[in-house]
């Protein structure tokens, strides 16, 4: 089972509504950061990539060194990534710094 990691401003992901990242803020960061792409419908993706869902704020990172597509899910004031390796951790920390946030696990452990 893949571990979910979060970008949020609170000590635990279930507290994200107390100091939320806004959808507008998230979209602005994704537009500004190289190799990040907002999901804007099936026509916006290469044919070999299928999105996990079509929620507003869904973004993909196309810069993983191993060629993997990494999905970033915006929901309830936080960003979730399912699955985690050292490359994803670095990208998440980079994005978190952009938003004055932190990378944490479901139990609140900082990464």
Q: Domain for residue 96, yes or no?
A: yes
Cα torsion 91, 38, 20, 99: sign: positive
**Residue at token pair 């960061």:** 29
CA distance 80 to 58: 10
Q: Domain for residue 64, yes or no?
A: yes
Q: Domain for residue 109, yes or no?
A: no
Q: Give the strand order in the sheet containing 70-75.
A: 36-38, 59-61, 70-75, 78-82, 4-8, 102-104
Phi, psi of 97 (to 5 degrees): -60, -35
What are 41-91's pLDDT values in tens digits? 766 666 656 666 667 889 999 999 998 889 999 999 999 998 889 999 999
* Assigned token pair, 32: 């500004």
Q: What pLDDT is stored for residue 40 in this prediction?
A: 76
CA distance 12 to 104: 7
Q: How many domains does the chain have?
A: 1
Q: What pLDDT is stored for residue 53 in this prediction?
A: 66
Q: Domain for residue 107, yes or no?
A: no
Q: Domain for residue 13, yes or no?
A: no
Phi, psi of 22 (to 5 degrees): -85, 155
Query: pTM to 2 decimals?
Result: 0.87
**Which domain range does residue 31 map to?**
4-8+18-101
Q: Domain for residue 68, yes or no?
A: yes
- pLDDT tier, 39 (very low <50, low <70, confident <90, very high otherwise): confident
Which of 28, 7, 33 has the alpha carbon at shortest distance from 110?
A: 7
């Amino acid at each position: 089972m893949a571990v979910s990691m979060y970008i949020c401003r609170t000590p635990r992901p279930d507290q994200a509504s107390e100091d939320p990242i806004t959808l507008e803020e998230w979209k602005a960061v994704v537009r500004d950061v190289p190799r990040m792409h907002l999901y804007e419908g099936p026509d916006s993706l290469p044919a070999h990539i299928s999105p996990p869902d079509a929620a507003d704020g869904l973004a993909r990172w196309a810069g993983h060194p191993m060629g993997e597509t990494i999905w970033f899910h915006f929901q309830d004031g936080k960003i979730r990534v399912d699955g985690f390796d050292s490359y994803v951790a670095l990208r998440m920390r980079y994005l978190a710094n952009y938003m004055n946030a932190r990378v944490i696990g479901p139990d609140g452990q900082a990464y």
